[in-house]
Structure 1
Amino acid sequence: MGAPNNDPPTNVLILLHGLGDTHVSFEKLGKQMNLPETACLSIRGPQGLLDMGGFHWGDDVIFDSTSGGLDADAGFKQATAMLKGLVEGDLMEKCGYNAREIMLFGFGQGGMAALNLTALGGSISIGAPLASEAPPALIAKCRTPILVCAGDDETSVTPTAEGKLKRIFEYVEIKRYRRAGDVMPNSRDEMMPIMQFFARRLRSTKGVPEGAVEVGK
C-alpha cells in the first residue's frame, strides 16, 4: 500500500492483525488513518488456522484451558524471523530506510509480535503485553518507544505485564480505555493517544504544522 496523497513515503508503518484475522482489515485501517508521508504495509500472519479460517503469528496453535479459546502467547520465533527479514532485508537493505523510519502497529497477538522486534522508530500494541518468551528484564533497556493501549479491566495487560514492559523498554506509555476488554479503539477519545504517538514519532520532510496533534482522521 503506498503513501497517501502521492507524497514520497518518508516512513513505513507495518500493520499486524490479530489472532484469526487476515491482513485485509488492517489494510483498510492503514487507508483510514491516512498518515502523511507514510507507506502502510499490512502483513498476513505466516500460519493458517486450518478449518477455523484466518491466520496467526504463533509458532504453535495452543488452546487456553481456562477460556477454551486460542492462546495468543504461542511462541514467536518464526514470525519474528519473517518480520526481521522484511525490516532488515527488504525495507532497510533494498529500499534504503533506516530503523528510525519504520514503525509497527499490532492488535492482540499481532501486538505481541510487534513488541518482539526492537530497535525501530516505535511500536504500538493494542491489547497485548510482551510474550512469555521475552526476557524478564534487560540491563540495557531497549530504546524503542512503546505505546500499549488496553482496557481498564478484563485485560491481558496486567500490572505484572506492565512492570515487565518497563523493565525491557526505556520509553513505555500505557493508555487505558474507560471500558473493559482488549479491543480496537472505536472512538476519537480512544484513538487520540495513538495519533499523538504517531505525531511525535513519524518523520516529516515538510515539518509539523504549529499546534498539530492529530496527523490523520
Structure 2
Amino acid sequence: MTEPRVPEASDFPKDAVVEIVLPKDKSKPVSNILILLHGLGDSHAPFAALGAQFNFPETACLAVRAPLVLPFNPNGYHWGDDLIFDTSTGGLDMMGSTFNASHKLMKEIIDDVLVGKCGWKRRAIFLFGFGQGGVVALDVATQVPAEGPDAEFGGVVSLGGPLHHSAPSPAKKIKTPILVMGAEKNTAITPEAAQRLKNVFEFVEIVNWKGRKEDGMMKNAEEAMPMMRFMARRLRSRAGIPKGAIELS
C-alpha cells in the first residue's frame, strides 16, 4: 500500500489559501494531518503560527483561510455565506445563515486533495477550529458517510464554536469524536448546544474553563490539557505526545 504524502501548495486549487506547517522533528514520517480553521474576521496566518506551537509528533498542520473577505476589513475573512449582525451584542453572528462556500472549499481540501491526491484516510485527519472556524469544523464532521472504513475523522476540537443549526440529525450518531471547549460563563456552548452535539455525535467531551467569562483561545497549560489528552488518545504516533506539546506564549 502506498504511504500517504504531505500535500504541497501546488496540490490545492488556485483560489484556496493554505499554509503548510511541517512537524519540528523531520526524522519521522508524517502520520497525521491537523487542519486549523480561524475565527470570524481573522485569517490563516496566526493559525499557521499556532500550528508551529503545536508540537504534536508526526503531525503536519494546514492553516486554511476562509473563502470570503469582510467588506470593511480586507485583512479579515469569514466562513459564512452572509454577514448577520447580532442585535444582542452589536457584533457579527458567527453562526451565519449558510456555509456553502466553506463546504465547497473544505471538500476540495479534504476529499479532492488529502484523500484523493495524497492518499490520506479520514481517520488520520483532524480539525481544530476557533469560533466560526469551530462551527465549520464540526459541520465538516457531519458530512462523512455513516458507515464504512472511512466513516470518521481522527477528531475535531472546537473552541467556542457550536454545531450549526442546519447540520443534519442523522439516524445513526456520527463516529468522529469531538472535544468542545469554552468559558464557564457567557459561552456559545450553552446547555442546549451541548445537548445537540450529544444528539449528533457518539463521542462528545465538553469542557468549561473554570473562571473564564468569555470564550477564547487556550491561555495556559491547564486549559490546554483536555486537548492534549484528546490528541494523545487519537493521534497515530510511534513516539507519543511529548510534555509541552502545546506551547502557549
Q: Who is 2:146 aligned against? A: none
Rate the CA distance shift 1:183–1:216 in 2: closer, same or farther, 3 A: closer
State the alpha-carbon separation in 2 of the partners of residues 208 and 51 from structure 1: 44
State the alpha-carbon separation in 2 of the partners of residues 214 and 92 from structure 1: 30
Among candidates 100, 107, 131, match of residue 123 of structure 2: 100
CA offsets, 1:6-44, max 9 Å, x none?
132110000000110010111111101111100000000
Rate the CA distance shift 1:167–1:213 in 2: closer, same or farther, 3 A: farther
Unaligned 5+ runs, structure 2: 1-20, 142-151
Question: How many angstroms does 1:216 deviate by?
Answer: 4.5
Question: How many angstroms does 1:85 deviate by?
Answer: 1.3
Helix, strand or coil: the match of 1:12?
strand
1:177 is the counterpart of 2:209 = yes
Helix, strand or coil: the match of 2:25?
helix
Question: Aligned-residue CA RMSD in angstroms?
Answer: 1.5
Helix, strand or coil: the match of 2:184?
coil
Question: How many angstroms does 1:76 deviate by?
Answer: 1.5
State the alpha-carbon separation in 2 of the partners of residues 104 and 192 from structure 1: 17
Among candidates 135, 140, 151, match of residue 183 of structure 2: 151
Q: Who is 1:130 aligned against? A: 163
TM-score, normalising length from structure 2?
0.82
Q: Who is 2:95 aligned against? A: 73
Helix, strand or coil: the match of 2:82?
coil
Question: How many angstroms does 1:68 deviate by?
Answer: 1.4
Helix, strand or coil: the match of 1:54?
strand
1:188 is the counterpart of 2:221 = yes
Helix, strand or coil: the match of 1:29?
helix
Q: 1:1-217, aligned counterparts within 5 Å?
A: 1-6=21-26, 7-52=28-73, 53-74=75-96, 75-118=98-141, 119-135=152-168, 137-178=169-210, 179-204=212-237, 206-208=238-240, 215-217=245-247
Question: How many angstroms does 1:207 deviate by?
Answer: 4.7
State the alpha-carbon separation in 1 of the partners of residues 115 and 246 from structure 2: 26
Q: Which range is displaced more, 155-164 or 75-84?
A: 75-84
Give 1:200's aligned amino acid. R
Identity of aligned residues (%): 45
State the alpha-carbon separation in 1 of the partners of residues 226 and 132 from structure 2: 20
State the alpha-carbon separation in 1 of the partners of residues 206 and 72 from structure 2: 36
